[in-house]
Amino acid sequence: MSIVVELKISEEISANQSVADTYVVPNGKLFSIEKSLASGVDGTSSIAVVWDYGGVGEEVIWYMNADGEIPFRYSNTGDGTKKIAIEAQNGPDSTRTLSGYLYLRVQE
């Protein structure tokens, strides 16, 4: 049995700023990324999926600097402290609306 967790960003982000939506994966629980999307990005802005967000072992596992979807699968086991995140980073040009979506399945 599993639960679905959706992480979403859709907001105006100032130049050289970032915004993230995070989820702490419970200890010993396997999670799988099933879908991720990016919208509103260009060569100077990006949407990324990051494991251990803000931690010492931070790892970018998916990165996109153009609109669209890259099908991929990623699974890992939580330790109750590490965060999975979707992060929108804006470039230096101007304020823009960036959107990102991450769909996870977490073992119960």
CA–CA distance, 47 with 66 (Å, rounded to integer): 9
Please give the model's pTM, rounded to 2 decimal places: 0.90
Interatomic CA distance for residues 35 and 70, integer angstroms? 8
Placement of tokens 């399945």 in the chain? 105
Contact 25, 81 (CB under 8 A): no
Domains with residue ranges and CATH for the chain:
2-107 (2.60.120.510)
The 10 Å CB-count burial string (b at 16+, else e) for 27-41 is eebebebeebbbbbb
Determine the pLDDT at residue 40: 81
Tens digit of pLDDT at every position of the chain (108 positions): 899 999 999 999 999 999 999 999 999 999 999 888 888 887 789 999 999 999 999 999 988 887 777 777 899 999 999 999 999 999 998 899 999 999 999 998
DSSP 7-19: EEEEEEE-TT-EE
In this structure, what are the phi and psi dihedrals at residue 90, rounded to the nearest 5 degrees?
A: -95, 145
